[in-house]
Structure 1
Amino acid sequence: MTDTSKKEQLYELIRANPFVSQQDLAVELRLSRSAVAGHIASLIRERRLLGRAYVLPDKRPVLCIGAANLDRKLRTLETLQMGTSNPAYAEEVHGGVARNIAENLARLGLPAALLTAVGDDPAGSALQSRAESAGIDTRGSLRLNDTYSGTYTAVLDERGEMVLALADMALYDKMTPEFLASRAPQRSSAAMVVADLNLPQDTVATLLQDARRDAVALVIVAVSQPKMARLPQDLHGLRLLVLNRGELETRVGRKLAGDAELAAGCREVQAQGAQDIIITCGGEGVYHTSYTLAGEAGLTWLPAPKVDVVDVTGAGDAFAAGVCWSIYQGNNDLTLACRRGLKVAAMTLESPDTVSPLLAADILEEISEFHPLHLPQD
């Protein structure tokens, strides 16, 4: 067999398993380690591989880093009454911001990977199994002994709107900068990184530092007002921050009543280094940062489509996934990205599932041109 055919065989083995070791390749192809290394070097020179972990150009995933929880949803059957027992319907589903975004992306046809932490309990096994069955690469995730997996318990009213949520997510504090360093092969393969703020502040700072160094798009998704404290002051390297009005108010330390004040708050966060910001407003719609022809920074408003809400759980994560899908395509039109995000969120709101089973690779391709409402800058 010629050297060329051996190299092609090696390439196909790497396509099947980008994390295969050189020793395994040598055994499979009956070659020396030095011969395998030579073929890999040749493929890298040809740009058919991109370096560490044998990254394939057409297989670079969106890497989602953060929470994968067991979500418990309690929905009242009638109007909720505080201070007393309410008849309710209960269910358990797989959730977590990073995990939900990864599953949405996988269903939308993108290669998706997940770095999370799970316990050694049945919930941890189920979370990992569900992710893998959805096509998500979880090989770098942290399995903690003698620890329960993260949980999120939401109380919903009879219309499916959230009344209260409780989160037990202390295990994500184990996802330290040292943990990130130990997962260098998985991280080096990413075309984009999406992180939620369940991570420790030092870990988020490391992701920002790496984004500046490697020029890989980093999207951060806020999870609550208390966890805004985990967002570092220096945001240089941040491609996009997705948060709601309350979380933005927490960041700037004041109420943002009108559109002009909201725009001023966004400019303040952009001055800290964030390139773009999206402010979600639930069922009403979203704002995103934009610029006038004169180069002045302001906001663009997009209303949400009207839907019959079945369950709000996961809608925000679905929106973020739709936005990331659009950015992954190389399109920098944030209005288009938000329209795609709103489409995925609407499908999720109309579904009893945290991730809509109707999502498919071609769902978002039909969404293109649109003329949004540009708000006054002052």
Structure 2
Amino acid sequence: MTTRPDILCIGSVLWDVIGRSDRHMKHGADVPGHITRLPGGVALNIAMTLARFDLTPALLSVVGRDPEGEELVTACERLGLITDHLYRSDDLPTDQYMAVEGANGLIAAIADAHSLEQAGDKILRPLITGPLGFVEAPFPGPVALDGNLTESLLDQIVHHPAFSQADLRIAPASPGKAERLLPFIRAGHGVLYVNLEEAGLLCQTEFESAPQAGAALVERGAARALVTDGGNVTCDATRDGILAERPPEVMVTRVTGAGDTFMAAHIASELRGADRPTALHRALATAAAYVAGGT
């Protein structure tokens, strides 16, 4: 019998190929460094962090039946993640993400999530026709969504009865996909996790601080928004007020996955019963440790 998940993670499950150098890099730079391949994708990054908090996440995504996909599913199972509900495609290849990071941060990245986009609502079948939920008996727990899903599918999720009882937590995946979260703002449903740039894109303006951005998102209709700004103040904004805290100062050794780690740590803290200030503090500490090279 499949273990009942504590949370569902819906979105990108892929291989991260990351090139890192300890040198500052400019356009066209050719420098020594290290290249790694690790399980990744927003949904998977969140799930892996949740598992480190002794929670049991289930993945809803598409993974090919190619060798890369078989290897990825095996890696996920070893991490304690539920993979039974993945859509396994014979025709679609396993997605991947490639990034280059220097001492001055992320230089460039390409996300190839075309299989996830083409799979569409096939990845949602376990929530609509079982066994995780049904239209007449919706899944009642937390769901982490990422913006690698198409805007039409995200809009479908906002209004679909199978998600009517879910505690939706949503991240845009990247600034280029931030506007895909607009349906959740229009509906006033779910908790948004965005950075300052993504908040600006959603509001079609520029902000000087996370609290300013959080207030604007709530004013536009968001039920709740957590806005990060690198090493500057982070906020948790709702209609009842705005909490703000500056993250710990650390030596930055990596940036890819930091936002996903923050989101997962925040969700885990609230699932364990933490109040808003405590959850924000713990999430910032966890993300800082990750950026500094910890697990």
Which TM-score tier does this pair reach, normalised by the shorter chain?
0.7 to 0.9
SS at match of 1:137: coil
Q: Does 1:320 find its partner at 2:263?
A: yes
- Map 1:47-62; keep pairs closer than 5 Å: 59-62=4-7
TM-score, reference length from structure 2: 0.87
C-alpha contact (below 8 Å) 2:60/2:123 kept by paired residues: no
Question: Shift of the alpha carbon at 1:158?
Answer: 3.4
CA positional deviation for 1:195: 0.3
| Separation of aligned partners in 2, 1:61 and 1:340 | 19
Identity %: 27
Give, in angstroms, the shift of residue 263 of structure 1. Answer: 4.6
* 1:366 corresponds to: none
Cα separation, 2, equivalents of 1:193 and 1:209: 15
CA distance in 2, matches of 1:127, 1:285: 36
**Which of 78, 89, 98 does residue 43 from structure 2 map onto?**
98
Cα distance, 1:69 vs structure 2: 1.7
- Counterpart in 2 of 1:217? 167
Shift of 1:187: 3.5
Q: d(CA) in 2 for partners of 1:303 and 1:134? A: 31
SS in 2 for 1:233: helix
1:87 aligns with 2:32: yes
Q: Tell me if structure 1 keeps the 8 A contact 2:21–2:102.
A: yes
1:208 counterpart = 2:158: yes
**Correspondence 1:348 to 2:290:** yes
Q: Report the equivalent of 1:24.
A: none
Q: Which residue number in structure 1 is paired with residue 226 of structure 2?
A: 278
**Equivalent residue for 2:108?**
164
Q: Give the 3-state SS of the residue equivalent to 1:162 in structure 2.
A: strand
Deviation at 1:237, TM superposition (A): 6.0
In structure 1, the residue matched to 2:136 is none
Deviations along 1:304-339, whole A, 9 cap, x unmatched? 1122332222221111001111222344x3222211
Gaps of 5+ in 2: 134-138
Structure 1: tracts of 5 or more residues without a match: 1-16, 20-58, 357-378
TM-score w.r.t. the length of structure 1 is 0.69
Could you tell me which residue of structure 2 aligns to residue 337 of structure 1?
A: 279
Per the TM alignment, residue 300 of structure 1 is displaced from its structure 2 partner at its CA by: 2.3
Displacement of 1:87:
2.4
After superposition, residues 12-161 of structure 1 pair within 5 angstroms as: 17-18=1-2, 59-158=4-103, 161=105
Q: Report the AA paired with residue 288 of structure 1.
A: D
1:226 maps onto 2:176 in alignment:
yes
Q: CA deviation at 1:110?
A: 0.9
Q: CA deviation at 1:182?
A: 5.0
Cα 1:181–1:202, aligned 2, differ >3 Å: closer, same or farther?
Answer: farther
Residues 177 and 202, structure 1, Cα contact 8 Å, conserved in 2: no
1:174-253 matches, within 5 Å, as: 174-181=118-125, 183-184=127-128, 185-188=130-133, 191-210=141-160, 214-233=164-183, 235=185, 236=187, 238-253=189-204
Q: Give CA deviations for 1:231-277 in whole Å, capped at 9, x if unaligned.
A: 243543623100011111111111223567425422333x2xx3210
Task: For residue 305 of structure 1, give the secondary structure of its aligned residue in structure 2.
Answer: coil
Shift of 1:142: 1.4
Deviations 1:55-74 (A, max 9, x none): xxxx4420000001211111
Q: Secondary structure of the equivalent of 2:115?
A: helix
Query: What RMSD in Å do the two structures reach over aligned CA positions?
Result: 2.5
Match of 1:303 in 2: 246
The partner residue of 2:117 within 134, 159, 173 is 173
Which has the higher Rg, Structure 1 or Structure 2? 1
Q: In 2, are the aligned partners of 1:252 and 1:268 still within 8 Å (CA)? A: no
Residues 1:266 and 2:217 are matched in the alignment: yes
Distance 1:182 1:148 in 2: 21
Instruction: Work out whether residues 220 and 238 of structure 1, in 8 Å CA contact, stay in contact via their aligned partners in 2.
Output: no
Contact 2:58 2:82 in 1 (8 A): yes
Measured against aligned partners, the alpha-carbon deviations of 1:129-155 in whole angstroms (never above 9, x if no partner) come to: 111111111111112224332111111
> Is the 1:176–1:202 contact (alpha carbons within 8 Å) kept by the matching residues of 2?
no
Q: Compared with structure 1, are the counterparts of its residues 311 and 258 closer, same or farther at alpha carbon in structure 2 (3 Å cutoff)?
A: closer
